[in-house]
Structure 1
Amino acid sequence: MKYKIILLMFFFVAISSCKKEDRTKILYLGHSLPQSHPVHKGILEFQKALANKSGGTLKIKVFPDAQLGSEREVLELLQIGSVAATKVSAATLSNFVPEYHILGIPYLFRDQKHRFEVLEGSIGKSILEKGSKFWLRGLCYYDAGSRSFYTSNKPIRTPEDLNGLKIRVMNNQMAINMVNAMGGSATPLAYGELYTAIQQGVVDGAENNPPSFVSSNHYEISKYYTLDQHSAVPDVLLIGTKFWDKLSEEEKVWVQEAADESAQAQKKFWSDSVEESMRIAKEAGVEVIIPEKSLFAEKSKSVLEDFIKKYPDMEETVNQIKNK
């Protein structure tokens, strides 16, 4: 933590000491993922595209591996202007910007094609803009695939198989409600503690996408992976409004175009990563189960109903997505 404070102090000094005639602007971007992750590779495309479009006058300095703090900590740094940009899960962002809760509704998207049509269309862009009033402007979405259940000792073939099982979830109310509605016992737990928790039987399993399942080495101790694909919560590339508002109109265009181009490149990185992750898991002896997803969708209907009761003003948006 002391290192982070010193580093941030350096940022302030560096920014304040820039000469007016120096046209170069540095965007500090921090995130919590490893450098091998497909989202980090997408961020590097953002970095490259922006440097090219701006002729080197806008540069991005990337700090991966949670060097600047957790997702929530970096979001707070964006809000006060200490860091320019970050990548966070829409689930984490929903604690700051309520509209992002919509993207976590189980089985909201019919398939991947439908998901991208929504995220890259007017609905998705509208949600990105909602964060500006909280000093967090969304630039684009990065593919984070679909989340599915994995367990250590008992396969999940139907929702009834979740009964009595402790399933680790993010500290997100919608994820908690979803697992509980399906019959499991949702157990919020820090991601870094999950391997040991599964190994020691503190939890029976968890839910995540294939690249995370493999990169975390959870496939070593969880031999059942059920591709129920209950949610598809995207990642979001953000820029703090305190930095955004200092950009010229031309610079804003460069940033947005670079972000959009990086999102398209990241899709391919993600697809390749999913394919490789599934290969590794299967070769390690993981049983991959393809269940009847409609059974899980039926069980989770109450999550949407409860959401609409809590956020009635968002029902129209949800219906627009379902009818798209």
Structure 2
Amino acid sequence: MKTRMTFRHATIATVSVSLLAAAVSAQAANWRGWNIHPDGYPNTVALEAFAEAVADRTEGRVSPRIYNNAVLGDQSDAIEQTRNGALDFANFNMGPMGPIVNKTNVFSLPFLFTDIDQMHTVMDGEIGQRFADALEEKGLVVLSWFDSGARSIYNTRRPINTPEDVQGLKVRVMNNDLYVEMMEALGGNATPMAYGEVYQSLTTGVLDGAENNFPSFESSNHYEAAEYFSLTEHLIIPECLCVAKASWEKLSPEDQEIVREEGMAASEMQRALWVESSDESRQIVLDHGVQINEVEDKAAFQALMEPIYERFIANNPGTGELIEEIRAVE
């Protein structure tokens, strides 16, 4: 009798374990991730490494898959989808985040950061945590901050060394009032335009120039039309690796820790790859005859931005103190 009871208990235990395993398997999270960049781009490589590491370390309890080239929608749509839990994670630039989290508009101010290293220090510290908290209130859990380089002006006409060199140039900017104000303050004719239309517009003379970083300048082939690249470095905009709060809250504390650790590792990888990619792209365009010049006196450009700052602070109470805090970080 004792043997039969033991066998019966063992059978029940085996069935229970099997049912539990099936339940866990059924609850495995097949995460969908949004990414605007193509294969091989620094962000894409880092995101794919993140997805693989999370799946491995959680033993499949979280199985992320990244969808590149914005195939799941444009960035504004993807932000909403992630906030609503329709997407599970994404890499977002802070530029389009303003309508959701108003304080992120500060990142679109020209010459906010001293340089890229200072931006990293700000975002990895207490100020960055405040932005992460604000994003979480809107449904986005920030795992880490990515790099997107510094944006500079390139054009078909001449090197830019002073604001006077910008005067009269038709320059494409992103669709943001601050970017339009920035270019007009320099004397240029700001032209908001879809990124995909820039190449043809440069070759036909509809545009004289645009502004972006080296990897984008090179990968878009804009260097074939614009032979002058001037290192104004007027915009340094951070990006986030974010998880939908709804997806995050379904994770166990142990899996949350794994996902956060791998998010930090992805940031370190992305930043290192960004430096390599920028150097490679810079060399490629140099080899194709692009003239690159340092801008020796950025103070002349910065001085023209003061009215933009004044209007921004007046329209966004409390941001004056935040700007001072950011600028004080060394």
Query: With structure 2 as the length reference, what TM-score do the two structures score?
Result: 0.89
Q: Determine the structure 1 residue equivalent to 2:134.
A: 130
Contact 1:27 1:84 in 2 (8 A): yes
Equivalent-residue separation in structure 2 for 1:168 and 1:285 (angstroms): 22
Deviation at 1:127, TM superposition (A): 0.5
Q: Is the 8 A contact 2:119 2:238 kept in 1?
A: no
Q: Which residue does 1:180 correspond to in 2?
A: 184
Q: Does 1:313 align with 2:318?
A: yes
Shift of 1:20: 5.3
Q: Work out the CA distance in 1 between the residues paired with 2:38 and 2:180.
A: 26
Cα distance, 1:155 vs structure 2: 2.5
SS in 1 for 2:112: coil
C-alpha displacement at 1:59, in angstroms?
A: 1.5
Provide the C-alpha distance between the structure 1 equivalents of 2:107 and 2:209, rounded to a whole number of angstroms.
Answer: 23
Cα separation, 2, equivalents of 1:93 and 1:146: 18
For 2:207, which of 203, 208, 212 is the aligned residue?
Answer: 203
Among 99, 104, 107, the alignment partner of 1:103 is 107
Secondary structure at the counterpart of residue 183 of structure 1: coil
Give me the whole-angstrom Cα distance separating, in 2, the residues matched to 1:55 and 1:173: 46
- Partners of 1:302 and 1:238 lie apart in 2 by 33
Letter in structure 2 aligned against 1:269: L
SS in 2 for 1:124: helix
Contact preservation (8 Å) 2:172, 2:209: yes
Q: Which has the larger radius of gyration?
A: 2
Q: Provide, for residues 240-295 of structure 1, a one-character-per-residue CA deviation record: whole Å limited to 9, x for no partner.
A: 22222222222222221111111011111000000000001111110101112222
Report how far residue 103 of structure 1 moved: 1.8
Larger mean CA deviation between 49-58 and 213-222 belongs to 49-58
Q: Match for 1:69 among 69, 73, 76?
A: 73
Instruction: Tell me how many residue pairs correspond in the alignment.
Output: 307
Which residue in 2 is equivalent to 1:247? Answer: 251
Query: Does the CA contact (< 8 Å) of 2:160 and 2:230 recur in 1?
Result: yes
Aligned to 1:12: none
1:323 aligns with 2:300: no
Cα distance in 1 for partners of 2:25, 2:119 equals 45
Corresponding position: 1:294 with 2:272: no
Which of 129, 141, 146 lines up with 1:142 in the alignment?
Answer: 146
Q: 1:112-143 deviations in whole A, cap 9, x for unaligned? A: 32111101111112102211232223222111
By how many angstroms is 1:296 displaced?
1.3
- C-alpha displacement of 1:154: 2.8
- Residue 314 of structure 1: CA displacement? 2.1
Measure, in 2, the Cα distance between the counterparts of 1:152 and 1:232: 23
Q: Which runs of 5+ in 2 are unaligned?
A: 1-21
Contact 2:25 2:61 in 1 (8 A): no
The match for 2:11 is: none
1:23 CA displacement? 4.7
Between stretches 199-208 and 272-281, larger displacement belongs to 199-208
Match of 1:9 in 2: none
Separation in 1, partners of 2:231, 2:73: 31
* Matched residue, 1:59: 63
- Report the TM-score when normalising by structure 1: 0.90
Judge which range, 120-129 or 50-59, deviates more: 50-59
Letter in 2 for 1:311: N
Equivalent residue number for residue 274 of structure 2: 270
CA contact (8 A) 1:130 1:137 kept: no
User: Cα distance, 1:65 vs. partner?
Assistant: 1.0
Question: Which segments of 5 or more consecutive residues in structure 1 lack a partner in the other structure?
Answer: 1-17
Question: How far apart, CA to CA, are the structure 1 residues paired with 2:24 and 2:53?
Answer: 25
Which of these residues, 112, 127, 140, is aligned with residue 116 of structure 2? Answer: 112
Deviation sequence 1:54-109 (CA, Å, 0-9, x none): 23321211100111111112112112221111112110112321121122221121
Per the alignment, residue 17 of structure 2 pairs with none
Find the counterpart in structure 2 of residue 191 from structure 1: 195
Could you give the per-residue CA deviations for residues 142-175 of structure 1, whole angstroms, max 9, x where no partner exists? 1111000000123322111111111111112222
Residues in 2 aligned to 1:107 and 1:32: alpha-carbon distance in whole angstroms: 25
**Alpha-carbon distance, 1:189 to partner:** 0.6
Tell me, what secondary structure is at the counterpart of 2:302? helix
